[in-house]
Chain A
Amino acid sequence: MWDIIIQIAGIIVQIFPYAIAYTIPLLITALGGLFSERSGVVNIGLEGLMVIGGFAGALTISTFQRSMPGTAIWLGLFAAFVAGALFALLHAFACVTLNANQVISGIAINMVAGALTTFLARNMTGSGNVRIRGMLRQDVPVLSEIPILGKTLFTQTYASTWVVLAILLLSAFLLYKTKFGLRLRACGEHPHAADAAGVNVYLIRYLAVMLSGAFAGLGGAIFLATVSGEFSGSAGGIGFLALAALIFGQWKPIGILGAAFFFGFATTIANVSQVIPLFSNIPSILLKTFPFVVTLVALVLFSKSSQAPRAAGEPYDKGKR
């Protein structure tokens, strides 16, 4: 019995860095979705926004990685952040200004992003793939000296991980402790009441959708810099997995953190189960479909008491009561 527990603990420590690397892009993208949906705009275009971020990041990094190897990655992440926000304007314009169907617009975002970036990348590289030198893992000074915990959590980490965790805290603060957050949540629950109280629903929703694009773009670039190392016109479905994490996390920052970890670990275990004897008995298919199945189960279980923003998916029409 003890053997197995120690063995599992050992494996967890072993795969922890990989699971984290996978969890972080998922987490930041889901956080982006959180802002959009809490303001009342459904964003199933997260996957496409990640692709845009990955593309912007790959271009920037491959341009600057020779001349300034240290800062190129950060420039790339910043470019992805901006590019994602700008591309999300398309979604905001369709959903907020034109009251278009948010699902169709989101699908269009996904398709445009995938096709357009591959088209442009092919014009530049021929193959349509852009290779970059990825981010390096670093030890956190001082903290990595802590026995056991320090070795698991603070050695060989990506700096982007800490940035994303900081953004998570900041997001929670922004949503729950500031005027902007209160207004944003009001727009997602009852836009007419928010409007009556003097909140500019359109402006808030624009900002929220742009934030979702910025975060998803960042997620795409982090995935590029830490996991894939190459832009190839897709985000491997992480955008949709982020959507699942958002729902499974019941539209709350802490819930999303938990869901992202859960899904990140499940995916990582599925990826490495071939080499780790203890997991080789679990069929990978169960682990890979697990996030989507549990999200369906969560949807059913919470169907009576769902925490989904009440106005998500509905265009805001001033004249409607």
Chain B
Amino acid sequence: MRIKLSKDSILSLVAVILGLTAGAILMRLTGNSPIEGYRYLFSGGAMNIERIGNTLATATPLIFTGLAVAFAFKTGLFNIGASGQMLMGGLGATAVGLTLAWPKPILLTVMMLVALFAGGLWGAIPGWLKAKFNVHEVVASIMMNWIAFWTVYYAVPAYFKGPFLETESRRLPSSASLKVPWLTNLFQGSYINLGIFIAIATIIIIAFILDRTTLGYELKAVGHNKHAAQASGINVNQRIVLSMAIAGALAGLGGASFYVGFASNMQIGVLPSQGFDGMAVALLAANSPWGVFSGSIFFGILHTGKGFMNAMTNIPPEIADTIIATIIYFAATSVLVERLWVRLKKKKILRFLEKSDVGAGGGE
């Protein structure tokens, strides 16, 4: 187990390095200095307390969506619907926040609960379709993403239209925002909000569920081998629905942390990229909850630093998105690295055998 873990982290690191290399090549090709670019990119994400706060704030939704993908993965399910679940969670939280005028602690609790249930429902539907009708959850999740996209597209202007633009909702009152003055002041006016604490608490809870509870054991058992799990008395179909519902709920919370924490209103016509970045995070983390945390911080730095880099150099900010996308591709094709690794090892062994004059036979 230990060996496998370290292999996973090596492969993740290689994917990151390859992604950064691809980014460097692109910067070079477009006539910029990669060293300078990366210096500004990383310092832009971490050079002062405000930017660190922004990095944490950017990482917060990614932690949730990363967990949403990783959690479903443990049950052998592919949750690519995190974007739609985020939208529904965000819409739910925004709707409550704009409608009710309750004291902040109660209001925020209700908003988070609504986000949790809205996202959970959006995840549970593909789960139920999978369990009941064997509909592939990837296809169903894609459809759910776009249903959420259009729902927000028409619901926001119809019910929560902003005073100036048709394409965004009204601003949330400060009593309905996850931003709190002491935290904002502590990080010198950054976007950081209570979401980061909820995210860390969620990581602990999810890690606990997966490693220390019967439910976690059963979910992982279904992921490893459905038939064996069924034979040992686990209700596989029920667990599939539950796993997707929890994954959706996590992404729903992520939506709340983004739309009522990081942002103060909801833009329409955007499928939040955090849903897909979450997939990258989960891949790099090899689905471990704390790995999701570090991956999210890393991507948070890239996203926070890209604006600064763009201001200081001629490199367009989309370089950060390109790097993240490339990392996903290299993570998906990590088999290649593994194969090269094995070949190198074989060569080493052969050379060793040749040197010590033992290995005449064998070979391939």
Interface residues of A (CB under 8 A from B): 42, 44, 90, 93-94, 98-101, 103-105, 107-112, 114-116, 118-120, 122-123, 128, 237, 240-241, 243-244, 247, 283-285, 288-289, 292-293, 295-296, 299-300, 303, 313
Q: Please indicate the chain B residues that have their CB under 8 angstroms from the CB of A244 in the complex.
A: 142-143, 146
Q: Please indicate the chain A residues that have their CB under 8 angstroms from the CB of B147 in the complex.
A: 289, 292-293
Q: Please indicate the chain A residues that have their CB under 8 angstroms from the CB of B279 in the complex.
A: 104, 107
| Closest 9 A/B residue pairs (Cβ) | A111-B325, A115-B321, A122-B316, A108-B329, A285-B154, A119-B318, A288-B150, A303-B133, A115-B322
The answer to whether A111 and B321 have CB atoms under 8 Å apart is: yes
The answer to whether B133 and A108 have CB atoms under 8 Å apart is: no
The answer to whether A105 and B329 have CB atoms under 8 Å apart is: yes
The answer to whether B135 and A300 have CB atoms under 8 Å apart is: yes
Tell me the complex Cα distance, A247–B146, Å: 15
Which of these, B78, B145, B316, B332, contacts A94 with CB under 8 Å? B332
The answer to whether A300 and B133 have CB atoms under 8 Å apart is: yes
Q: Please indicate the chain B residues that have their CB under 8 angstroms from the CB of A100 in the complex.
A: 332-333, 335
| Distance in Å: Cβ of B150 to nearest Cβ of chain A | 4
In the assembled complex, B71 has its CB within 8 A of some CB on chain A = no
Tell me the complex Cα distance, A104–B318, Å: 21
The answer to whether B154 and A108 have CB atoms under 8 Å apart is: no
Residue of B nearest to A112 (CB): B325
Q: Please indicate the chain A residues that have their CB under 8 angstroms from the CB of B263 in the complex.
A: none
Q: Give the contacts of B101-132 with A (CB-CB under 8 A).
A: 129
Contact (A243, B335) CB under 8 Å given A111-B324, A292-B147, A299-B129: no
| Distance in Å: Cβ of B170 to nearest Cβ of chain A | 20
| Distance in Å: Cβ of B241 to nearest Cβ of chain A | 15
In the complex, 5 of the A-B residue pairs with CB atoms within 8 angstroms, ordered by the A residue number, are A105-B333, A115-B322, A237-B271, A288-B153, A300-B135
User: In the complex, given contacts A42-B138, A116-B26, what are 4 additional A-B residue pairs having Cβ atoms less than 8 angstroms apart?
Assistant: A119-B30, A240-B146, A285-B154, A288-B154
| Distance in Å: Cβ of A103 to nearest Cβ of chain B | 5
Which of these, A105, A114, A300, contacts B321 with CB under 8 Å? A114
Which of these, B129, B324, B336, contacts A300 with CB under 8 Å? B129
In the assembled complex, B98 has its CB within 8 A of some CB on chain A = no
In the assembled complex, B276 has its CB within 8 A of some CB on chain A = yes
Give the dominant DSSP class at A's interface: helix
Contact (A98, B134) CB under 8 Å given A123-B316, A285-B150: no
Q: Please indicate the chain B residues that have their CB under 8 angstroms from the CB of A112 in the complex.
A: 322, 325-326, 328-329
Q: Please indicate the chain A residues that have their CB under 8 angstroms from the CB of B335 in the complex.
A: 98-100
The answer to whether A103 and B78 have CB atoms under 8 Å apart is: yes
In the assembled complex, B139 has its CB within 8 A of some CB on chain A = yes
Q: Which of B147, B314, B328, B329 has the most CB of A within 10 A?
A: B329
| Distance in Å: Cβ of A147 to nearest Cβ of chain B | 39
Tell me the complex Cα distance, A244–B326, Å: 26
The answer to whether B332 and A44 have CB atoms under 8 Å apart is: no
Contact (A237, B149) CB under 8 Å given A100-B333, A104-B331, A303-B133: yes
Residue of A nearest to B322 (CB): A115
In the assembled complex, B80 has its CB within 8 A of some CB on chain A = yes
The answer to whether A116 and B325 have CB atoms under 8 Å apart is: yes
Tell me the complex Cα distance, A159–B287, Å: 49
In the assembled complex, B210 has its CB within 8 A of some CB on chain A = no
Tell me the complex Cα distance, A123–B335, Å: 33
Tell me the complex Cα distance, A2–B251, Å: 51
Residue of A nearest to B155 (CB): A285
The answer to whether A296 and B143 have CB atoms under 8 Å apart is: yes
Contact (A283, B332) CB under 8 Å given A123-B30, A240-B142: no
| Distance in Å: Cβ of B34 to nearest Cβ of chain A | 14
Tell me the complex Cα distance, A241–B150, Å: 13
Q: Please indicate the chain B residues that have their CB under 8 angstroms from the CB of A295 in the complex.
A: 139, 143
Residue of A nearest to B142 (CB): A240
Tell me the complex Cα distance, A293–B129, Å: 13
Q: Please indicate the chain B residues that have their CB under 8 angstroms from the CB of A296 in the complex.
A: 129, 135, 140, 143-144
Tell me the complex Cα distance, A90–B134, Å: 30
| Distance in Å: Cβ of B202 to nearest Cβ of chain A | 23
| Distance in Å: Cβ of A297 to nearest Cβ of chain B | 10
Q: Please indicate the chain B residues that have their CB under 8 angstroms from the CB of A119 in the complex.
A: 26, 30, 316, 318-319, 321-322
In the assembled complex, B151 has its CB within 8 A of some CB on chain A = yes
Tell me the complex Cα distance, A109–B276, Å: 12
Which of these, A94, A110, A118, A303, contacts B134 with CB under 8 Å? A303
Which of these, A108, A120, A292, contacts B143 with CB under 8 Å? A292
| Distance in Å: Cβ of B85 to nearest Cβ of chain A | 15
Q: Please indicate the chain A residues that have their CB under 8 angstroms from the CB of B153 in the complex.
A: 285, 288
| Distance in Å: Cβ of B238 to nearest Cβ of chain A | 19
In the assembled complex, B283 has its CB within 8 A of some CB on chain A = yes
Which of these, A105, A122, A303, A313, contacts B318 with CB under 8 Å? A122
Q: Please indicate the chain B residues that have their CB under 8 angstroms from the CB of A90 in the complex.
A: 329
Q: Please indicate the chain B residues that have their CB under 8 angstroms from the CB of A241 in the complex.
A: 146
Q: Please indicate the chain A residues that have their CB under 8 angstroms from the CB of B142 in the complex.
A: 44, 240, 243-244
